[in-house]
Amino acid sequence: MTNVHCNRRDFLTSIGGTALAYAIDAPAQTGPRTSITVRIDRDLAVLDPANRTGPWEGNVMRVVFQRLMKQKPNSSELELDAAAEVKQVSPTVIEFRLKPGLMFTDGFGEMTADDVKFSFERIGLPPKEGARESTYKKDWLYLQGVEVKSRYEGRIVLTQPRANLYDVVIADGSGCIVSRKAVEQRGADFATKPVGSGPYQLASLERQKGATLRRNPAYAGRKPHFEEISLRFISDARTTDLALRSGELDFAVLAPAAAEPLRAVAGLTVNDQPSIAYVWLGMNVEKAPLSDLRVRQAIRLA
């Protein structure tokens, strides 16, 4: 990853290779810097947690919406976000209590337990007649439902235990809490006009160009570091290289081979960020020789 004019630690905990996650908790830096321009290599199309198309949109949603819990900066541990308390009362029941006074943007009012119920169930339960099934339905595997106990209290009920529910669901994209009223009122437009309660709100979105995020003045958590984050969609690595050299970009993630030449450029800092590489192999199990289980097992062992 390559950044300019920013401290080295500013983006070490960025999720999915962007500066968005750590923009909230970035350490103090010298100078009056209040904005940053970040390269994204995929176009933003759907900023609705239930129907997002990939992790690049999830990165934006994590700073637009709140979750019951979120990942701590520079850590794999979780901390409370919208919730004042989250308690596992049995292997299949999780109780939560929201912090009062969490306000949705655009005048959609205070977050309640009913919004949590709506957010989780619209992803994890079968859709109502005529509604679209969530592309991330399996994230909420074993969800039986969310019971509302009071304005701020609720209970997540599972049909069987789920060991990784906190890490990969509650504190991640499918744990984003939307305004029920906003989703029902905006319908399909919610995908490009999201309403959240997080540290940033979407100021503009233009397909094939990018988006602008601005600090949410009503956000009750830690004050975000940047007033504004500009996201520029650039798919080509060479164009990204030129934009970094000219100062049009402040931050980008590049493959090692593409980033290496930038080490010698004055004003740019290249940070190496090792990560886990996930490799996926698809097989057509209906066509020989892959239709033979023994062949597939041999490939797996190899």
Q: What is the pLDDT of residues 171-228, one digit of tens each?
A: 999 999 999 999 999 999 999 999 999 999 999 999 999 999 999 999 988 888 899 9
Q: Residue 117 has what pLDDT?
A: 98
User: CA–CA distance from 144 to each of 85, 120, 125, 174, 181 (Å)?
Assistant: 21, 11, 8, 16, 23
Q: Residue 232 has what pLDDT?
A: 96
Q: Residue 238 has what pLDDT?
A: 93
Average pLDDT over residues 105-118: 98
Q: Is the pLDDT of residue 29 over 80?
A: no
Q: Is the pLDDT of residue 9 over 60?
A: no
Closest CA to 192 of 1, 12, 52: 52
Q: What is the maximum alpha-carbon separation in the chain?
A: 64
- Backbone angles phi and psi of 169, in degrees to 5: -125, -70
pLDDT band at 118; cut points 50, 70, 90: very high
pLDDT band at 31; cut points 50, 70, 90: low
CB 118 within 8 A of CB 178: yes
How many angstroms separate the CA atoms of 108 and 159, rounded? 33
Choice between 20 and 88, residue whose per-residue pLDDT is larger: 88
Q: Residue 26 has what pLDDT?
A: 53
* Three-state DSSP class for residue 87: strand
pLDDT band at 104; cut points 50, 70, 90: very high
Q: Within 37-179, where are the H helices?
A: 55-64, 113-124, 165
According to DSSP, the β-strands at 210-215 and 228-233 are antiparallel
Q: Is the pLDDT of residue 3 over 70?
A: no
Edge to edge, what strands does the sheet with 93-98 contain? 83-90, 93-98, 153-158, 143-148
pLDDT band at 25; cut points 50, 70, 90: low
Which residues on neighbouring strands pair with residue 201, listed in sequence order?
A: 214
Tokens in use for 228? 């504004």
Q: Residue 151 has what pLDDT?
A: 98
At 232-283, the pLDDT tens digits run: 999 999 999 999 999 999 999 898 889 999 999 999 999 888 776 667 778 8
Residue type, 85: E
Choice between 217 and 16, residue whose per-residue pLDDT is larger: 217
Instruction: Indicate whether this model's pTM tops 0.75.
Output: yes
Sign of CA dihedral 51, 56, 57, 62: positive
* Three-state DSSP class for residue 143: strand
Q: Residue 275 has what pLDDT?
A: 73
| Average pLDDT score, the chain | 88
Q: Residue 93 has what pLDDT?
A: 98
* Three-state DSSP class for residue 153: strand
Element of type H or E holding 243: helix 237-246
Choice between 290 and 8, residue whose per-residue pLDDT is larger: 290
Residues across the chain: 302
